[in-house]
A = this chain, B = another copy of it.
Amino acid sequence: MATRSSQPTVLLVEDEPAQREVLAYNLEAEGFAVARASDGEEALLSVKEALPDVIVLDWMMPGVSGIEVCRRLKTRAETRDIPIIMLSARSEEVDKVRGLETGADDYIVKPYSVAEFMARVRKELRRTRPSTVGEELRHEDIMLDAQTHRVTRDGAEVKLGPTEFRLLATFLERPGRVYSREQLLDRVWGRDIYVDTRTVDVHIGRLRKALTQFGGDDPLRTVRGAGYSLG
């Protein structure tokens, strides 16, 4: 099966560089490793070299076409289980059927939104690698698993209330980044909830207490006049 690194790998097969880089940018922003290929031949080589966790495949390509790549991968035992998402500029029903017939797992018609694209990729990854899709956040010895709603520090379980959990999750998305109290209220409490900004301080205090209950340094940093950050 596919690699077992902490990040899932996405093989992106698209001959148009601009298109390819936009998608790559978004995938990488979400923490996926991206392998690139600009035609069918490269794609087959790349798969042979290192099995990706999911393949995004453009229909129209010079040389070996996307549909042909798909057919070949789906007939080989060791690549059969890798989900394939087909991209196509054609919207005709005929093509959609043909795409899925050759074994593609999903089919996205251009033009599509990046959000839709990302959602489809996540969906396929969830099937094959349920634990690693956006569900696990780490920073140093702190680990948060959104799937099981658990937090551990240095292996020891840390019990957090819902608010502290979301707060920590927010910090873990971008360790080091300073969030103002207003931003934290926005993200953790929600856009139109009115709570005093000092409430943030109290919850920060509670999160600190929970994270240091078994010893260990305080991982949260207070930036006077600006807000808080993790690390």
Which residues of chain B come closer than 8 Å to A115, judged between CB atoms?
Answer: 22, 25-26, 29, 114
Q: Are A149 and B162 in contact (CB-based, < 8 A)?
A: no
Which of A78-86, A194-202, A218-226 is found at the contact surface with chain B? A218-226
If A22-B113, A22-B115, A114-B114 touch, whether A149 touches B178 (CB-CB below 8 Å) is yes
**Cβ-based interface call for A101 (8 A):** no
In angstroms, Cα B162 to Cα A26, docked, is 24
In angstroms, Cα B150 to Cα A176, docked, is 9
Partner among B7, B176, B225 whose Cβ is within 8 Å of the Cβ of A162: B225
Within 8 A of B (CB), among A129-181: 147-150, 161-162, 176-178, 180
**Cβ-based interface call for A28 (8 A):** yes
The count of residues in chain A whose C-beta lies closer than 8 Å to any C-beta of chain B is: 30
**Cβ-based interface call for A186 (8 A):** yes
Which residue among A25, A162, A176 has the maximum number of chain B CB atoms within 10 Å of its CB? A25
Q: Chain B: which residue is nearest A19 at the CB level?
A: B113
In angstroms, Cα B132 to Cα A226, docked, is 14
Which residues of chain B come closer than 8 Å to A28, judged between CB atoms?
Answer: 183, 186
Which residues of chain B come closer than 8 Å to A111, judged between CB atoms?
Answer: 111, 113
Within 8 A of B (CB), among A69-104: none
Q: Are A148 and B162 in contact (CB-based, < 8 A)?
A: no
**Cβ-based interface call for A229 (8 A):** yes
**Cβ-based interface call for A217 (8 A):** no
User: Assuming A6-B226, A29-B115, A148-B176, what are 6 further A-B pairs, CB within 8 angstroms?
Assistant: A7-B180, A22-B113, A22-B115, A148-B177, A150-B176, A161-B224
Q: What are 21 A-B residue pairs whose CB atoms fall within 8 Å in the complex?
A: A7-B180, A22-B113, A22-B115, A22-B116, A25-B113, A26-B113, A26-B115, A28-B186, A29-B115, A111-B111, A111-B113, A114-B114, A147-B176, A147-B178, A148-B177, A149-B178, A149-B226, A149-B229, A162-B224, A162-B225, A162-B226
